[in-house]
Amino acid sequence: MQSAGCNAILPLRQFMLIARRSCSVKAHSKVAGSQENVPLQPPISGGKMRGWQLHNYGEIEELQLSDKLKIPQIRSSNECLVRVRSTSVNPIDLAMLRGYGATVLNKMRCQPGEGIEFPLTLGREFCGELVQKGMGVDTCKGSLSLGARVWGVVPLQSSAGAHAEYVAVPSYCLARAPEELDDSEAASVLYAGLTAWSGLYITGGLGGPCGAVTSSGGGASKRVLVLGGSGGVGSLAIQILKSQKVQVLATCSENAVEMVRNLGADFVVDYNNSEAMEELSKYAPYDIVLDCAGQGGQKASESNFDYRQYITFSSPLLANIDKQGLGLGAIRNIVDLIQTNVSSVSQRGGLVKWGFFSPAPQGIEFLQRLVEQRKLIPQIDSSYEFADLPKAFERMRSGHLRGKIVVKL
């Protein structure tokens, strides 16, 4: 195992990053604090904003910037309106641009009888300033007071995402942003972090029932293999697991091995090195193999190591429905899951499960605590200005990311 060197490097790296952040975060805190003492002027009803829209599914060329979009209106008592300061581009944004999940998500978005699919604004996470809130938003603890600096996520079924100057979301989808992170860092945690958390604790049951329904975490002494440890989800999954005293092994490309070691992984291998990959069988069986590399469940039984659970975020669920419709697509999903598990159980002794993003408040609380304890540090691959958002999509399309892609407004 190669944990001794890794554990020595990580605290030093954390100290340097924390020192770098302190000035900018303190400065922002002073500004935010002064704003909270002054009543905010809410956006004028029917006011306009800038945002990137999609009028047809396709490639990046379909993204259109407009400065005449209507500012979202709060439509229920538990909604909040946020002025976006930073956002990100995730793999799901690129997939949705191409029409992924359109059949299911459009039915969830549209009111009965409407059938209006476009325009869409992508963007699943953000950091910004709370400017309006519904009457039912709880402010007993003052965490969601007007002017507060918040971070949050946008439910997948929403047609108005965070690639705009304002976004409206249910109050359970956001919380006060940690002071330990600047705006760009705060906009790069929740979507990938909640995806990793949900896969491990809801789908994988890593912390037992309490780990899924509370922010307690858990999983000490378990052994987890993370496939794709250098990407947005994988890099956060490693840090989540190490914070819970889980033994972590990871795969990545050769030029990312050192980065993944610095995240705290106990053993890291280059997935292109067949001899190194053979080493993974020595640590089997794994309690969980977490597929953050997009391999999918069909590849599970082809691996050279045993596991109890193989959890992939690349399920065919929405794609099957897109191709075959709700009825036949649902049948295809059941058949796929059965066939995959028959092969997986017979050859590797474990089950294949599908993991999904979940905007769970207990997950946000769990991630927030790790950030505050300095046990989770987001990795930024690249940063772009709002007007250059298509370039951020091009970076996503090129692949081999080293963390998250951030867009600053």
pLDDT given at position 30: 40
Crossing angle (nearest 10°) for helices 190-197 and 361-372: 110
pLDDT band per the 50, 70, 90 thresholds, residue 19: very low
pLDDT given at position 319: 87
Mean pLDDT of 282-295: 94
What digits encode the pLDDT tens for the residues 370-398? Answer: 999 999 999 999 999 999 999 999 999 99
Q: Is 347 helix (H, G, I), strand (E, B) or coil?
A: helix
What digits encode the pLDDT tens for the residues 62-71? Answer: 999 999 999 9
What digits encode the pLDDT tens for the residues 323-340? Answer: 898 899 999 999 999 999
Q: Which H helix or E strand runs over 98?
A: none
Mean per-residue pLDDT over the chain, rounded? 87
Count Cβ atoms below 10 Å from residue 323 Cβ, excluding itself. Answer: 12
Mean pLDDT of 230-241: 95
pLDDT given at position 45: 61
What's the 3-state SS for 4-31? HHHHHHHHHHHHHHHHHHHHHHHHHHHH
pLDDT given at position 322: 87
**Is residue 6 predicted with pLDDT exceeding 70?**
no
**Is residue 14 predicted with pLDDT exceeding 50?**
no
Mean pLDDT of 226-251: 96
DSSP code string of 358-401: ---HHHHHHHHHHHHTT---PPEEEEEEGGGHHHHHHHHHH---
**Is residue 1 predicted with pLDDT exceeding 60?**
no
pLDDT given at position 336: 92
Mean pLDDT of 207-217: 93
**Is the preceding omega at residue 155 within 30 degrees of 0, hence cis?**
no
Q: Where does residue 113 rank: exposed (0-12), middle (13-18), buried (19+ CB within 10 A)? A: exposed
**Is residue 55 predicted with pLDDT exceeding 60?**
yes
Q: Is 36 helix (H, G, I), strand (E, B) or coil?
A: helix
**Is residue 36 predicted with pLDDT exceeding 80?**
no
pLDDT band per the 50, 70, 90 thresholds, residue 283: very high
**Is residue 25 predicted with pLDDT exceeding 80?**
no
pLDDT band per the 50, 70, 90 thresholds, residue 8: very low
Task: Fill in the amino acid letter for 18.
Answer: I
Task: Fill in the amino acid letter for 61.
Answer: E
**Is residue 112 predicted with pLDDT exceeding 60?**
no
Cβ(350)–Cβ(344) below 8 Å:
yes
What digits encode the pLDDT tens for the residues 256-270? Answer: 999 999 999 999 999
- Minimum mean pLDDT range among 137-146, 286-295, 350-359: 137-146
pLDDT band per the 50, 70, 90 thresholds, residue 46: low
List the end-to-end C-alpha distance of the chain, in Å, as a whole number.
43
- Minimum mean pLDDT range among 16-25, 289-298, 346-355, 393-402: 16-25
Mean pLDDT of 284-291: 96
Q: For strand 267-270 and strand 174-176, is the pairing parallel, antiparallel, or unpaired? A: unpaired
- Minimum mean pLDDT range among 13-27, 50-64, 114-128: 13-27
